[in-house]
Amino acid sequence: MNHSDKDKAHAPAALVEVSGLRVVASKDDGEDVVIVKDVDFSIARGEVLALIGESGSGKTTIALSLMGYARAGCHIAGGRIRIGQREVLSMDQAALEGMRGCDVAYIAQSAASAFNPARTLMEQVIESALNHKTMSRAAAQAKAIGLFRALALPDPEHIGARYPHQVSGGQLQRAMAAMALITDPELVILDEPTTALDVTTQIEVLRAFKNVVKEIGTTAVYVSHDLAVVAQMADRIIVLRDGSVREVGATAQILTAPVNAYTQSLLAAAVPAMSLPTVPVSSHAQETVQAAQQEPLLRIRGLIAGYGSPDSKGLPGVRILDDINLKIERGSTIGIIGESGSGKTTLARAVAGMIAPARGSIMLDGVPLSPTLAGRSREQFRRIQIVFQNADTALNPAHSIGRILSRPLAFYHGLSGQAMHKRTVELLDLVQLPANVINRLPGELSGGQKQRANLARALAAKPDLILCDEVTSALDTVVAAAILELLAELRRELQVSYMFISHDISTVRAICDDIVVLYAGRMVANRPREAMMAPPYHPYSHLLLSSVPALRQGWLEQVSGRTPEQLPPIGEVTESADICAFLPRCTMRIDGVCNTVPPRRRNMEHGGEILCHRSDADLQRMQLPLVPVEGVTI
Amino acid sequence: MKPAHESSASVTATPVIAVKKKARKGRSWLGLIGLAIVLFWLAMALLGPSISPYDAGAIVDVDVFSGISSKFWLGTDYLGRDMLSRILFGTRYTIGLALAATLLACSVGTAIALFAALTGGWVDALISRVLDALISIPSKMFALLMVATFGSSVWLLILTAAITYMPGSYRIVRSLAVNIQTMEYVQAARARGEGALYITCVEMLPNMIGPVLADMGLRFVFVVLLLSGLSFLSLGVQPPDADWGSLVRENISGLGEGATAVIMPALAIAMLTIGVNLLIDNLRGKRARKD
């Protein structure tokens, strides 16, 4: 590989040099497992190096070892790490403490848990500068304000006086970057800094990071599982798997001409739409013709759910879901997308009967379902199954896989003995799990296997509708792609319908026939998949689509982003619960209309309906020049 | 990085080095001691009366508070009765009462806790506050009241100890149940249409049995100490029967002479409680490691 020569070429100037790094973890039974195997790399001054790999590939372990740190149960067993003039592995505790947070800074995945809720942002941001006595309090505060500005935080002079809960998740993540950069570290380690964020927030944070890194010329290690995100940030990429390096190369080379087979599979899986077989549209079309005569499988009318003391109309004070109307035909898949807090999970739970809606009806085959669990029949339970997001907690850790799968068989179908065993094995086969997992506990399975078992339990009931709540979001890309493929296959074979809930628009577009976009509990768009391929979109759908990072360099610079100040100005907003919820972020809002009149649900020419004042032609005219919306094309 | 290196790294199987952990071994060793002590006393509770050298009530020595001798292994008490026999006979009372009281306290506490956690709302709040009020009554004082009102009997002692320690058990199980209830596997069972009994017994209980058992062991120790304390205050098992606490009390006058009669039953109490504690710590360690 030619990059090894390149490595040697810039080796003298390299800020960081790692050779033969070896990290060992001790298992419970006293055995040691090598989790990082003889890893070598170097980072030049001012370079951004990405460590990419799926969970368990050792990327975070390597990043932490750059600070001379190994997590509990692990220790660095060998190798050399040089940062500037320092030999990290031969430093004593005091020297390491002097280096950490001062010369080498760390930005963690979850800013929410990295900040102390009882202290203001400013105190925490300048803390490391004061601890390491690199500057006076006044100088540190002035510098922090400068960083806040560079990171595009609103009101940089005063945001430091706020507490962590008073700023948004994306802002907190940027404040953490300020915390890391306050001491002018030689090396910054970013550990999945945007993974926990919504796409629309992620793009803001990425942009801020990128600007700061460019401005200050920091050397950085960017740890991520997401190739598209890394493509925006990194100069060079190291692909890791099982603790060893698979491929090293410049970002452009890794993205366009990967040499290693594993890198190629990662790239393939990063675009689920491409790897998925196309859904048989013809059969679906037939279904719709039939459905014209009969009731859809599921119909939701005027659903309102929430919590808090009821208002004068008897509606909940805080509405999580507001006026949801949708239907799911037999054998079709409906996708529900929206950011966290938009009410996606609540919708699934309301359909499953676990949350009683305040208003509205849910009908299965034209028969109204009881809003509570107590009023539903066993047959109704059987027909609607829910698959939870976390297979880790959705499977009872005390029960074997066999027992977990056989319960619905006995409960709904009255199977026992040999027949039950036979069906259990069939189910395992259906989700492509080996039959020997039948006696294993969930804790002994991998994440992907657990999600398959989770799915098999739902299938055991022979349901008509499966509610999939973010079933792939906790999985690695390659595994997630396999699960999606399985879902599509099961749908063809068993004619089940899905309500597929996700925050990932590209996943939803890959497998769903209809796509519902939720924003703040309201359905802002409900459109067939084909209509979601080209403008016009609802302004929020468009924001979502254009926020998904494309798998190429330079996307971040091209994509049009607007800060709140750049949005079209609007006057006073009328106090009404029905005013468009997306108004504060909308780039296409109209003064005098959007802020005073509640939008009406209207049909679009290209199919589906949206909740927006703008006409199709308007939307199209404004959105067309704003493409490319790529990385999500099917 | 060179290509050759990459291929070699990918074919090498994960090197596994077996390392014995001394600390872990030490812990299981202590656990075995605990288990041995507990098994020993359980055996004594069952076999004690049949293998004891003398009858517990028989005055067999003219000398009172005699020391250890080949005839009387643990000496004699204030009336000249054989201490070994008296301790062996007392084992049944001490362990039997404590076991019964503990089982009662934990099973009732667990049942109420599961009911409260599952029902939630005001029912949960009411039960919790009532039991909190019960915790606030000092246990010795409560026992004193009970004995003063109803007189001392074996059943009353069991009931008193059970009532005293039930709220603690309730608290622990309820907090576990509230957490487990929100787990998605319990949600999944609810969405499947399962009844409350199935959810509690099959889905929830197996996942909380570890902490519940550990808590039960601790509670057993507390009950032994409470009953011994009550007996020491003459409120427990009444003469001529005697549990270990009573044995300490009846022979307290011999303390000045350094009589074995007062030390031996006290040692027995200490040994049992330490044994149970060692065993629990080890059980807990195993569970924790499994998780």
State the pLDDT confidence band at A13, using cuts at 50, 70 and 90.
Answer: low
CB-based contacts of A171: which residues, under 8 Å, 6+ apart?
Answer: A153, A154, A159
Average pLDDT over every residue of B81-96:
84
Beta strand A236-241 pairing with A244-250: antiparallel
C-beta separation of A397 from A443 below 8 A:
yes
Residue of chain A nearest B4, judged by CA positions: A1
Q: Quick one: which H or E segment has residue B17?
A: strand B16-18
Can you give the residue ranges of every domain in chain B? 49-290
Percentage of residues in chain A having pLDDT higher than 70: 91
Complex ipTM value = 0.75
- Token couple for A584: 């504060």
State the pLDDT confidence band at B6, using cuts at 50, 70 and 90.
Answer: very low
Q: Quick one: which H or E segment has residue A304?
A: strand A298-307
Q: Does A424 have pLDDT greater than 90?
A: yes
Residue of chain B nearest A245, judged by CA positions: B6
Closest-CA distance, B233 to chain A, in angstroms, reads 46
Closest-CA distance, B146 to chain A, in angstroms, reads 42
From A334-348, A613-627, B88-102, the region with the lowest mean pLDDT: A613-627
| CB < 8 Å to B12, chain A | 37
Is A388 an 8 Å CB contact of chain B?
Answer: yes
B147-182: pLDDT as tens digits = 888 887 888 889 998 999 999 999 999 999 999 988
C-beta separation of A104 from A181 below 8 A:
no
State the pLDDT confidence band at A420, using cuts at 50, 70 and 90.
Answer: very high
Selected residue with higher pLDDT from B163 and B281: B163
Percentage of residues in chain A having pLDDT higher than 90: 23
Beta carbons of B191 and A407 less than 8 Å apart: no
Beta strand A514-519 pairing with A497-502: unpaired
Average pLDDT over every residue of A155-179:
88
Q: Does B15 have pLDDT greater than 50?
A: no
B228-249: pLDDT as tens digits = 888 878 787 777 777 888 888 7
pLDDT of residue B198: 92
Question: What residues 74-113 of chain B have any CB closer than 8 A to a CB of chain A?
Answer: none
CA B159, CA A337: separation in Å to the nearest integer? Answer: 58
From A29-38, A289-298, A417-426, A518-527, the region with the lowest mean pLDDT: A289-298
B249-278: pLDDT as tens digits = 788 887 777 677 788 888 888 888 888 888
Average pLDDT over every residue of A608-612:
88
* Burial class for B16, CB neighbours closer than 10 Å (0-12, 13-18, 19+): exposed
pTM of the model: 0.77
Cα–Cα separations (whole angstroms), residue B231 to B250, B256, B271: 10, 20, 18
Percentage of residues in chain B having pLDDT higher than 90: 19
Is A32 an 8 Å CB contact of chain B?
Answer: yes
Give the nearest partner residue to A32 out of B1, B5, B17, using CB atoms.
B17
Give the nearest partner residue to A354 out of B183, B190, B207, using CB atoms.
B190
CA A236, CA A255: separation in Å to the nearest integer? Answer: 11
Q: Does A9 have pLDDT greater than 60?
A: no
Give the nearest partner residue to A388 out of B1, B9, B188, using CB atoms.
B188
Beta carbons of A31 and B16 less than 8 Å apart: yes
A175-209: pLDDT as tens digits = 998 998 898 888 999 988 888 788 888 888 888 88
Average pLDDT over every residue of A155-174:
87
C-beta separation of A505 from A488 below 8 A:
no
DSSP per residue, A457-490: HHHHT--SEEEEESTTTTS-HHHHHHHHHHHHHH
What is the homologous superfamily of the domain B49-290 according to CATH? MetI-like (1.10.3720.10)
Beta carbons of B16 and A395 less than 8 Å apart: no
Is A398 an 8 Å CB contact of chain B?
Answer: yes
Size of interface A-B (CB pairs under 8 A): 91
A391-417: pLDDT as tens digits = 888 999 889 999 999 999 999 999 888
| CB < 8 Å to B19, chain A | 26, 30-32
| CB < 8 Å to A4, chain B | 1-2
What domains lie within chain A, and their CATH numbers?
3-270 (3.40.50.300), 281-532 (3.40.50.300), 542-626 (no CATH)
Q: Does B19 have pLDDT greater than 70?
A: no
**Average pLDDT in chain B:** 80
Average pLDDT over every residue of A587-601:
86
Q: For residue A141, which of A154, A117, A155, A160 has the smallest C-alpha distance?
A: A160
- Token couple for A576: 């009404």
State the pLDDT confidence band at A560, using cuts at 50, 70 and 90.
Answer: low
Q: Quick one: which H or E segment has residue A516?
A: strand A514-519
A287-316: pLDDT as tens digits = 444 545 578 899 999 999 888 777 777 788
pLDDT of residue B177: 93
Question: Three-state SS for A156?
Answer: coil
Percentage of residues in chain B having pLDDT higher than 70: 88
CA B227, B228, B230, B235 dihedral sign is positive
Q: What is the DSSP letter of B204?
A: I
- Token couple for B135: 């915790």
Beta carbons of A38 and B184 less than 8 Å apart: no
Question: Three-state SS for A254?
Answer: helix
Closest-CA distance, A398 to chain B, in angstroms, reads 6
Is A74 an 8 Å CB contact of chain B?
Answer: no
Give the nearest partner residue to A354 out of B14, B17, B187, using CB atoms.
B187
State the pLDDT confidence band at A274, using cuts at 50, 70 and 90.
Answer: very low
A206-255: pLDDT as tens digits = 888 888 888 888 899 999 888 888 988 899 999 998 888 999 999 989 88
Q: Does A22 have pLDDT greater than 70?
A: yes
| CB < 8 Å to B191, chain A | 352-354, 373, 381, 385-386
Give the nearest partner residue to B193 out of A246, A378, A398, using CB atoms.
A378
Is A555 an 8 Å CB contact of chain B?
Answer: no
Question: Three-state SS for A425?
Answer: helix
The number of C-alpha atoms within 13 Å of B227 and in the hemisphere containing its C-beta is 40
Packing angle of the helix pair B83-119, B260-290 (nearest 10 deg): 40
A455-493: pLDDT as tens digits = 999 999 989 999 999 888 877 777 888 888 888 888 888
Total Cβ atoms within 10 A of residue A308: 11
pLDDT of residue A382: 93
Q: What is the DSSP letter of A37?
A: E
Q: Does B21 have pLDDT greater than 50?
A: no
Q: Does B16 have pLDDT greater than 60?
A: no
pLDDT of residue A574: 80
Beta carbons of A394 and B188 less than 8 Å apart: yes
Which of B179, B181, B185 to mutate to probe the A interface, most A CBs <10 Å?
B185
Beta carbons of B207 and A246 less than 8 Å apart: no
CB-based contacts of A627: which residues, under 8 Å, 6+ apart?
Answer: A535
Selected residue with higher pLDDT from A124 and A316: A124
| CB < 8 Å to B190, chain A | 354, 373
Out of A135-144, A303-312, A619-628, give the one with best mean pLDDT: A135-144
pLDDT of residue B84: 83
Across A45-148, the runs of DSSP E, i.e. the strands, are 48-52, 74-83, 86-87, 104-107
Beta carbons of A411 and B194 less than 8 Å apart: yes
Across A331-470, the runs of DSSP E, i.e. the strands, are 333-337, 359-364, 367-368, 384-387, 465-469
- Token couple for A322: 């507001």
Q: Does A67 have pLDDT greater than 60?
A: yes
pLDDT of residue B255: 79
pLDDT of residue A561: 59
Beta carbons of B18 and A30 less than 8 Å apart: yes
pLDDT of residue A122: 93
Beta carbons of B191 and A373 less than 8 Å apart: yes
Is B7 an 8 Å CB contact of chain A?
Answer: no
| CB < 8 Å to A474, chain B | none
Give the nearest partner residue to B6 out of A245, A373, A378, using CB atoms.
A245
Q: Quick one: which H or E segment has residue B88?
A: helix B83-119
Average pLDDT over every residue of B3-30:
44
Residue with tokens 């087979």: A261
pLDDT of residue A631: 41
**Average pLDDT in chain A:** 84
